[in-house]
Each structure stands twice: as structure tokens, then as C-alpha cells.
Structure 1
């Protein structure tokens, strides 16, 4: 059976945690599409000595392998900012599009989380979720993650970076971050992760019943 769950939302909203949880719950394959852009961003910065060159970013995107997604530095704030910058390059998005679409329509079900899955990559997804939260709450979560990893960034600095990234993602000309018209909204500002996962599971079960008739 082919069944796609598209989960979109801004950074630190909880979409990745929800995606991993529902993938385990239903036995679906999971792809964090943000890692694709983070890997391209980090490799492009390294190749350009700190400068993002669009042509170089596109070449790197076309040669990306699954091994590149296992780098330990992909969860850093630097990687996140680089991802947002290369994601605005049309050639990079085009290079990564086929990979994501093939993954999404694989047999056995798939969960993809990112920023344009329900709107651009998989507009035909059986389930679309948009996960969000107040930016101050998201900054607190991200700061805790970074601090646990040894970062010395302040929460105020993390909040400023999140707001910059939100603005960049929402304003880019190609595939801006936005909620699909038919996406179910899950606001995790005051919602526990267990409650958010329960809400996502209920929506997926509802659509599975409609698709399979049982």
C-alpha cells in the first residue's frame, strides 16, 4: 500500500518528533527532508570557505548520498541557517525533489517532514499536518537542545536566529513555508508531545480507514 504522511512546520515546532513517533507507530519509512538541505548547506559552506555559491550548491545537491545525511554536525545552528539559505536556490530544490517524491510513494507507507512537503513535494499526500508553536517556545526548545550538545549560544540569540529563519523561509520565492489548505493544524505551544502525537495518530488512522475501507 502507498500512503504518504506530509508534516510541515517551522524549526523546533516538534514536527520531527511527531514524524518519528507516527512512523514507528504505523511501521512507515521516515525521511527528515531538512537533513537533505542541511547536508547541502554544510558541504557548500565548506567548499566555498563560508560562502554559499548557488551553482556549487546545486552540484552538491545532485551528488548527495544517504551517507551525507549521517554527519554529526547537521543538527547545529550553523547547519540550520545554511539549510535555509540553500533551500531558497531553485536548482537545489529541483535536484532534491525527485529523491523526496520517490521516497514518499514507496510501498509500505512513508512519513516526510519538512517545510514544503504538503504544498510542493507531495500535494497528493493522504495526510497533511502543519505543526507550529509560538516562536519564544520554539527558541526555548532549540536552546535546550543546543545547550545539551555543548553550545554556548544564549536563548535570546537562538530566538533571533529562529525569527530570521522564519522570515526567510516564509518570504522565499520558491516553495515558501506555508500551511496547505487541507492540512490539519497542530499547535504545540501548550500541547505535550504525547498529546500532539495522539492527535496526529488519530488523523492518520481516520484516513487509513477511508483508504482501506476498514
Structure 2
């Protein structure tokens, strides 16, 4: 599942994985974890990014996913639960920046392909259908207007006790879109055989039903949802 930032990909991917009994892998969280590692070490600031240092220390970054007591998978960076820390605007912006580095993308793709070697996974990101799993049984591409995506992201951050400015969130969404679509290494693009879902005016429940029906149709599963 690919698409623009803050499209709700992870929500639908998680729901789909749960319904199918598959493992959900949040590829975006992996880049956020790399960004957090770099920020902690002073390699990313508002003014600079030390590409050499990040690349040199990639071998020291181990990202895994483990379920919490509620069965929801959370992100671990070198065995430390960083699920909450990687969801900040600062880390989101850092993730968009480190994802432009070819060496970082190569290592993350390697780890992602390793996670999905036995199939039975639902993964969302920017280059899953085009680079990570070009032969996936089903590919979805999600899109939505920047303004609606920014509002959803803003509401999510406020619900977590943060105090962002909507204008800052919108600017971040647009900046990430530009980076994601214009970077040289694995830019965000729709796979030729991907099914497009514009969820600007569609609720989560309706999206999940649609995705499940698409899965059943593509795989030949006759079960109706």
C-alpha cells in the first residue's frame, strides 16, 4: 500500500492485516526510527543533515516491531520502544529527509523484504509496490487533498496532547509531498497495476470494506465483507 503522507494508509493497512490475520509492517515508522536515531546524535537539525554520519552508522540501527498488550504492533529502535517519539512533527520531517538517501533506502528495503519473505504481510509506505514488493498480489495507492490530510494530522496531534499550528502541519505535508515525489531514489509514484483509492470524502469503515472486497476479488476469495 503506497500513497501520500497522512493519507490514513496505516489505519487501513492495520485494519486489513487484522481482518486477514496478516502481519502489519509500518515501513514509514522505519524511516522515522532512522530519523530519530540521527536527531538524537545531532546529525539532523533544522539547518543541516550530516549524510555521511547517518550512512556510516546504518549498521548500528536495528528496527523491529513487537505487539503491545492490546495486540497493536509498536516500533522498536535497537530494542527500545520509540513508538511515541517517532510520531512527532520533527521526526516526521526528519524521516522525509533521510528517506532521500540512497543508502538508507537500500538498507530499509533490505530489512522490509526480509520481513516479508514468507508473505502474509500488509505493508504501507511510498515505494512498496514499485520497489520493495513489485510482485505483490495486491497493490493499493491512496491519495487525498493536502488540506484534508493536514487537518487529519493536526487532529491526531491535538488528541495526543500536542499543540501544533494547522498552517505548520499543512506546510509540512506539502513539503513532504514535494520531497517524496521528486527525490532521485525510489520516488513516490503509483505502480502501473495499483488500484487507486482517493479517500478525501470516504470514512475509515467504508475504506476498509472497500479494501477487503478488493482483496477478495483479486485473490478469488468468495467471502463477502
Normalising by the residue count of structure 2, what TM-score does the alignment of the two structures yield?
Answer: 0.86
Q: Is 1:93 paired with 2:105?
A: yes
Q: Which structure shows the bigger proportion of residues in helix conformation? A: 1
> Which residue of structure 2 aligns with residue 62 of structure 1?
59
Which residue of 116, 119, 123 corresponds with 1:112?
A: 123
Give matches, 1:145-160, under 5 Å: 145-160=156-171
Give structure 1 regions of 4+ aligned residues with deviation exceeding 4 angstroms.
none
Give the C-alpha shift of residue 14 in structure 1.
Answer: 1.0
Cα root mean square deviation, aligned: 1.5
> Which residue of structure 1 aligns with residue 86 of structure 2?
74
Residue deviations 1:43-90 (CA, integer Å, cap 9, x gap): 112212534221222244333222317302111111110000000000
Aligned residues: 203
Larger RCO, structure (CA 8 Å, separation 6 or more): 1
Q: Comparing 95-104 with 180-189, which one deviates more in the overlay?
A: 95-104
Structure 1 residue runs of 5 or longer lacking an equivalent are 1-6
Residue deviations 1:148-197 (CA, integer Å, cap 9, x gap): 12222111111011001100111100011111111000111001111111
The whole-number CA distance in structure 2 between the counterparts of 1:126 and 1:91 is 27
Normalising by the residue count of structure 1, what TM-score does the alignment of the two structures yield?
Answer: 0.90
Structure 2 residue runs of 5 or longer lacking an equivalent are 65-75
